[in-house]
């Protein structure tokens, strides 16, 4: 009997040693678990703050967040752009966000003009320029990320899935597909943002499959920021991931550099980053009602102009998770401007009651809402808009409790 007990005890110890050294299912060390060994089989007691086996989806229970299109619609010179970025008052901006009780911020690093509010050596090297020409000298994203983290507010970065479309030379330098006319390069003299209605046979860069060379270069650009910011960045919202890029996913897997390798770089600083890909404002695309745009997608881009579907006859159904369900495993997310338009306006289009009702309903059905908010070069939010958001945020607990409150 004593021999059996001793063997059982030794087996328990060995099991404990093995369990404590085997990596978890996600590849991380099992250092967040305490192994308790005795004469019974080894058991795991989770320590306070440890990550559960099934990672919680923080975004699903966030209620609502705010998006800021920062200086992406202005045609800046290097001097004027750096002056604008240098004027941004990070603490005041974070104070304003905190006053609304928003759970997260989506902030644009840059867009089609090719200017980015953070240095990036990979981007600068590809363009053959010094910092401060196409990128700001100040790392505004790092400062915002740190200030929001102090307030327990998450940061998601807005970025384009393709090279900045307004500049032929940048598209070429990034190795992306050049605009074409009837399948032939359009050349630098043709407006890169044109349309087949204006130029017969024209195709934009984003309406073509991305070349492997571009995905290698874009991985270097996005990856540099990802590794720099680490877990200060909780997600990425990629614009311009058109159906042509979606359709190219499988053929590109045969290449050394593909969409998978790009996303690996995007997540190199935070493997748990939430990812959205945007192809347009129609619910089929923005809410993924017919499936993910990208296999790596974890939340819907959600781009829309209102809380209702737009139809040829006018207003359609209310945009909710039940009316327009997203694929399993994808967090349902709606994005719309709270004011006049994307990054524009000085007053809210919606009253407090309407915003609470819509956010509450979407939350009760397992979704989340982001309101795009105007922001000045120095980071100021229009007073009238901020006042409405502050009133909405006073009931934040009701807006993210998963049940109907209004």
Give the tens place of pLDDT for each residue, 299-343.
Answer: 999 999 999 999 888 899 999 999 999 999 999 999 999 999 999
Q: How far is CA 355 from CA 69, 360, 361, 401, in A?
A: 20, 8, 10, 16
Q: Which pLDDT does position 374 carry in this prediction?
A: 98
Q: Do 156 and 12 belong together in one domain?
A: no
Q: Do 72 and 221 belong together in one domain?
A: yes
Examine residue 405 and state whether it is found in any structural domain, yes or no: no
Examine residue 353 and state whether it is found in any structural domain, yes or no: yes
Cα dihedral across residues 369, 49, 233, 24: positive or negative: negative
Q: 372 pairs with which residues across the strands?
A: 67, 337
Q: Do 176 and 277 belong together in one domain?
A: yes
Mean pLDDT of all residues in 376-392: 98
Examine residue 54 and state whether it is found in any structural domain, yes or no: no
Q: Which carries the bigger pLDDT value, residue 47 or residue 287?
A: 287
Examine residue 275 and state whether it is found in any structural domain, yes or no: yes
Q: How far is CA 328 from CA 49, 242, 366, in A?
A: 27, 21, 12
CA 364 to CA 382: how far, in whole Å? 30
Examine residue 295 and state whether it is found in any structural domain, yes or no: yes
Examine residue 90 and state whether it is found in any structural domain, yes or no: yes
Q: 67 pairs with which residues across the strands?
A: 106, 372
Q: Do 223 and 119 belong together in one domain?
A: yes
Residue 62: other Cβ atoms inside 10 A: 21
Q: Do 39 and 64 belong together in one domain?
A: no
- Residue 404, classed as helix, strand or coil, is coil
In 37-164, beta strands by DSSP E: 43-46, 64-68, 104-108, 154-160
CATH number at residue 167: 3.20.20.80
DSSP 135: B
Q: Do 135 and 204 belong together in one domain?
A: yes
Q: Do 29 and 121 belong together in one domain?
A: no
Q: Do 31 and 82 belong together in one domain?
A: no
CA 229 to CA 250: how far, in whole Å? 30
Q: Do 257 and 350 belong together in one domain?
A: yes
Q: Which pLDDT does position 314 carry in this prediction?
A: 86
**Position 6 pLDDT exceeds 70:** no
Structural domain of residue 102, as residue ranges? 59-399
Q: Which pLDDT does position 51 carry in this prediction?
A: 33
Examine residue 307 and state whether it is found in any structural domain, yes or no: yes
23-76 residue pLDDT tens: 333 333 333 333 322 233 333 223 223 333 356 789 999 999 999 999 999 999
Mean pLDDT of all residues in 381-406: 97
Mean pLDDT of all residues in 372-376: 98
Angle ∠(327,331,337) on CA atoms, nearest 5: 115
Q: Do 25 and 77 belong together in one domain?
A: no
Q: Do 18 and 91 belong together in one domain?
A: no
**CB of 72 closer than 8 Å to CB of 33:** no
**Position 350 pLDDT exceeds 50:** yes
Model confidence at 18, pLDDT cuts 50, 70, 90, reads very low
102-146 residue pLDDT tens: 999 999 999 999 999 999 999 999 999 999 999 999 999 999 999
**CB of 210 closer than 8 Å to CB of 238:** no
Mean pLDDT of the chain: 89
241-259 residue pLDDT tens: 999 999 999 999 999 999 9
Q: Which pLDDT does position 312 carry in this prediction?
A: 87
Mean pLDDT of all residues in 177-182: 97
Examine residue 406 and state whether it is found in any structural domain, yes or no: no
Instruction: Tell me how many domains the chain contains.
Output: 2
CA 252 to CA 396: how far, in whole Å? 44
**Position 397 pLDDT exceeds 70:** yes
Q: Which pLDDT does position 5 carry in this prediction?
A: 37
Helices (H) and strands (E) in the chain, counts: 14, 14
**Spatial CB neighbours of 71, under 8 Å, sequence gap ≥ 6:** 81, 84, 85, 115, 117, 377
151-167 residue pLDDT tens: 999 999 999 999 999 99
Q: Do 252 and 354 belong together in one domain?
A: yes
């Amino acid at each position: 009997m004593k021999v059996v007990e001793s063997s059982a005890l030794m087996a328990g110890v060995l099991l404990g040693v093995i369990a404590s050294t085997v990596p978890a299912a996600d590849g991380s060390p099992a250092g967040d678990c305490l192994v308790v060994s005795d004469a019974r089989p080894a058991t795991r007691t989770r320590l306070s703050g440890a990550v559960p086996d099934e990672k919680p989806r923080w975004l699903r229970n966030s209620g609502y967040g705010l998006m800021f299109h920062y200086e992406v619609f202005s045609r800046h010179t290097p001097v004027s752009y750096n002056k604008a970025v240098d004027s941004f008052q990070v603490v005041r901006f974070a104070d304003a966000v905190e006053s609304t009780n928003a759970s997260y911020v989506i902030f644009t690093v840059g867009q089609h003009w090719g200017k980015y509010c953070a240095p990036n050596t990979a981007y600068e090297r590809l363009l053959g320029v010094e910092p401060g020409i196409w990128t700001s000298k100040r790392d505004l994203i790092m400062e915002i990320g740190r200030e929001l983290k102090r307030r327990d507010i998450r940061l998601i970065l807005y970025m384009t899935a393709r090279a900045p479309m307004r500049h032929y030379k940048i598209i070429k330098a990034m190795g992306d597909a050049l605009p074409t006319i009837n399948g032939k390069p359009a050349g630098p003299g043709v407006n890169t943002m044109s349309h087949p209605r204006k130029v017969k046979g024209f195709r934009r860069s984003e309406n073509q499959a991305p070349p492997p060379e571009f995905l290698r270069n874009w991985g270097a650009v996005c990856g540099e920021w990802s590794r720099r910011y680490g877990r200060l960045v909780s997600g990425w919202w990629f614009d311009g991931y058109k159906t042509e890029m979606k359709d190219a996913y499988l053929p590109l897997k045969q290449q050394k550099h593909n969409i998978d390798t790009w996303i690996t770089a995007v997540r190199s600083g935070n493997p748990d980053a939430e990812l959205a890909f945007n192809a347009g404002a129609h619910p089929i695309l923005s809410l993924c009602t017919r499936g993910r745009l990208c296999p790596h997608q974890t939340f819907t881009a959600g781009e829309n102009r209102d809380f209702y579907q737009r139809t040829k006859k006018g207003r359609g159904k209310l945009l909710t998770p039940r009316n327009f369900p997203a694929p399993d495993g994808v967090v349902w997310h709606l994005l719309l401007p709270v004011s006049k338009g994307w990054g524009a306006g000085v007053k809210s289009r919606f009253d407090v009651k309407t915003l609470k009702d819509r956010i509450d309903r979407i939350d009760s059905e397992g979704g989340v809402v982001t309101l795009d908010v105007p922001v000045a070069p120095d980071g100021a939010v229009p007073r009238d808009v901020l006042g409405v958001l502050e009133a909405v945020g006073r009931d934040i607990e009701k807006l993210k409790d998963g049940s109907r409150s209004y």
